[in-house]
Each structure stands twice: as C-alpha cells, then as structure tokens.
Amino acid sequence: MKNRPSSYSALRYTLFAYTVCVVLLITLMPFNFDFHIPRRIRFAWHGDLPDILSNIFLFIPLGFLYRLCFRQGRGRLCLQELMLGLLMSLAIEALQIFLPSRKPTVADVLTNGSGVWLGAQLDVLVMSRLNRDHLVKLFALELPLMALICFLTPLLWISAYTTHIYPNRLVLILLLGLFGSGIWHSIFVHRLRPEGHLSEKKMLFMAVAWFFISSTPALINVPWHVAVMGALMMAALVLQMGWQIRWPPNSADRRFEVATLKRYLPLYAAYLFLLMLWPPKPEIFVPVNNPVRCYNA
C-alpha cells in the first residue's frame, strides 16, 4: 500500500492532461484551419441555454483537476483558476476565428471561465470535508479500473454531443453506460463494500450521477431518452448486486481487474463496432440553420 500516494498523483496528473486534450478536441474540431486573416470577423455576444450549460459542464473537470494537481490548499477564492479559465477560453475563441465552421462568442469566454472556477470551488468543498487519504479510499483512486471510469467520461461526452444530429448514437451512450456500470459494480463489490467505505445506495447514486454528468449534452437535448438509459443502467446495477448477494465473490481475490474486464469487455467491443459504422462527420460541427448546434466553446 506504500505506492498508493504516488499512484494517486500519477493518476491525477494524467487525467488533467487527458482532460485538456479532450477539451481542445471538442472545441476545435474539425481542425479545418484557414490562417488567412479574415476581412471580417464573425462573432456573437451570447448563446442559448443549452450551449451555456454545455460550456460550463465541459470546463468544470478542468478547474477541479487543475486545483487538485497544482493549487491544493491555496487561495480558497480560486481567482487564479478563474483567470486560467478565461485565458484558455480566449485562446480557444481566437483560434476559432480561423475555423470556417466556428463562430467566436463573447459569452463562451465567460461561461468557460465560470466552469473552471466552479470546478475549483468543487475541489475546495470536497477537500474541506475529506483529507487526501480518505478521498483515495472513498473513490478507490488507486485502482486501474477507476482510472478507466475517468477515461470513459470524455467518450460519453463526445457521443452525447453528436446525438442532436445522429439520434442512433444514443445506443453508444447506453453501451458505455452499461460498461461503466459493470466497472462501478466490480469496484464496489471487491473493494469499497468489504472495506466499509461505501453503502449500496451511495454507490448507486455515484454511478448514476457519473452517467448523467458525463452525458450532459444529450441530457440537454433529449432528456427523456437519457433518463430512460439512466434507469436501465440503475436496473443493471441492482440486478448485479442481487446476483452477488446470492453468489458472493471470493473475498480472498484481491486482483479482480482482469476478470472484470473479461466480463464486460463485449459491451465496449460493441461500442467500438458501432462507432466504426457511425463515424462522426464534419457536418456535426458545421452550423446550418441553427449555429448554436455547432459547439462554440
């Protein structure tokens, strides 16, 4: 257990770098830059409510992870994180000037910066109630499977973002959600429940909250569809817990990751197969009649 702090540190730095890459991927696709200085710069002052909410939720993980990595315990007002969010957003909006399919928006600078600030405030709130060791134990952050949950989150976000044009991609969200629910269940059964860190109700809440937060773009556009998928995910978790009560796992088996992956990997394989059948197309990012549908972050 001595390597737990170092594993935790490596995970949080990796997740921060990964989150930055995902944010740049989402906000700058399809990368068809035209670096000729435009005669006229098109920009908007405001966006609609779905666009604003998507921007805020997209940047919350950045603020949370930035403070977790670099600013732990300093500056509870999180002004540095706010400035970071505003500067990063300004850089993104400046690059969008050279993207024919994008339109810089003044409101995006404010909402993106607000998202980073809210993420930093979330870190302040969590750390005021939990110390680092408790946080690691509660969320099993030293486990590779929990890292997999973190890496699934941007995949869910990207799949959810495309559903307003391709409704059949809701199936991709469901497959990722079921795959994630299996991982959550395995972590709970083999680690969190035996060590008394989490009850079944709290685990259900955490897993379903993870799914809904990760599916925010689809939740804004097609809330009832996502609600049904969340209910299916919860039902799958309840069935798995009932199965484990009847046939409990071997408590001596501490290395359960490989068996878990073998059990649930077909769901991820189905996701990859359908992803090949439904690859994202450039028009997802090109505004036609409703420019807000183009992700202006």
Q: Is residue 293 part of a domain?
A: no
Q: Are 159 and 123 in a shared domain?
A: no
Output the CA torsion sign for 284, 296, 207, 184.
Answer: positive
Model pTM?
0.66
Q: How far apart are CA 89 and CA 82, in angstroms?
A: 11
Preceding amide of 30 cis, omega within 30: yes
Domain match, 118 and 198 both: no
Q: Which of 108, 134, 160 is where one domain is finished?
A: 134
Q: Does residue 28 lie in a domain region?
A: yes
The pair of structure tokens assigned to 189 is: 């059964």
Residue 291 lies in a domain: no
Same domain flag for 202 and 129:
no
The verdict on 160 and 235 lying in the same domain is yes
* Whether residue 271 is found in the same domain as residue 167: yes
Distance of CA 151 to the CA centre of its chain: 8
Answer yes or no: is 16 within a domain: yes
Task: Please give the Cα distance from 29 to 286 (Å, whole number).
Answer: 10
* Assigned domain for 145 exists: no
Q: How many domains does the chain have?
A: 2
In a domain, 289, yes or no: no
Q: What is the pLDDT of residue 130?
A: 57
pLDDT along the chain (297 residues), means of 10: 55 78 79 68 62 82 82 74 90 82 79 90 75 52 69 82 78 91 83 68 84 84 87 86 57 66 89 79 45 43
Which pLDDT score is estimated for 20? 86
Specify whether 156 is located in the same domain as 245.
yes
Instruction: Say whether both 9 and 126 belong to one domain.
Output: yes
User: If DSSP codes are grouped into helix, strand and coil, which group holds residue 142?
Assistant: coil
21/126 same-domain check: yes
* Confidence at residue 86, expressed as pLDDT on a 0 to 100 scale: 92
Same-domain pairing of 130 and 206: no
Domain containing 130: what range?
4-134
Q: Which of 105, 134, 163 is the last residue of a domain?
A: 134
**Same domain, residue pair 105 and 222:** no
Other CB atoms within a 10 A radius of the CB of residue 141 amount to: 18
Q: Is 40 helix (H, G, I), strand (E, B) or coil?
A: coil
Say if residue 83 is in the same domain as residue 199: no
CB-CB contact of 180 with 187 (8 Å): no
Q: Is residue 284 part of a domain?
A: no
Does residue 11 lie in a domain region? yes
Pick the last residue of a domain from 134, 165, 184. 134
